[in-house]
Amino acid sequence: MTIPVDRLTDPAVRAFVTALNANDQAAFQQALTPGATMSDDGSDRDLAQWTEKEIFSSRGHMEIESEKTGGRGLVARFRNDTWGEMRTQWRFTVDGGKISRFETGQA
């Protein structure tokens, strides 16, 4: 069973996932604070390069399985055209209603 994106608890996380799933780069940038950072499997990555490769040019998509920590932690089935589908975990830091950092990795 999955959680519909429009039912995600945290509005900033909801905006992030909505933009990611719509492949909407402008809305995705609007969901982030200036200077937002991220990590993948414990290693910091260049956010612009990572999102272009893993999300936008490869049509990334998240199906949310569960939420924790007030909606700022997700377990999701993430898929893209490069890697196929994998079970992932996501942790978000929210600042002023926008995502200032996210950390993802295999669940």
Q: What is the pTM of this model?
A: 0.96
What is the mean pLDDT of the segment spanning 74-86? 96
Kindly indicate the confidence band of residue 1, based on its pLDDT and cuts at 50, 70 and 90.
confident
Q: Could you tell me the CA-to-CA distances from 85 to 25, 77, 81, 100, 101 in Å, in that order? A: 21, 6, 9, 26, 23
Kindly report the average pLDDT of the chain as a whole number: 97
Condensed to tens digits (0 to 9), the pLDDT of residues 15-65 reads 999 999 999 999 999 999 999 999 999 999 999 999 999 999 999 999 999
Domains recognised in the chain with CATH numbers? 5-106 (3.10.450.50)
Q: By CB neighbour count within 10 A (0-12 exposed, 13-18 middle, 19+ buried), where does 39 fall?
A: middle
Are 82 and 58 contacting, i.e. CB atoms less than 8 angstroms apart? Answer: yes
Bridge partners, residue 83, by sequence: none
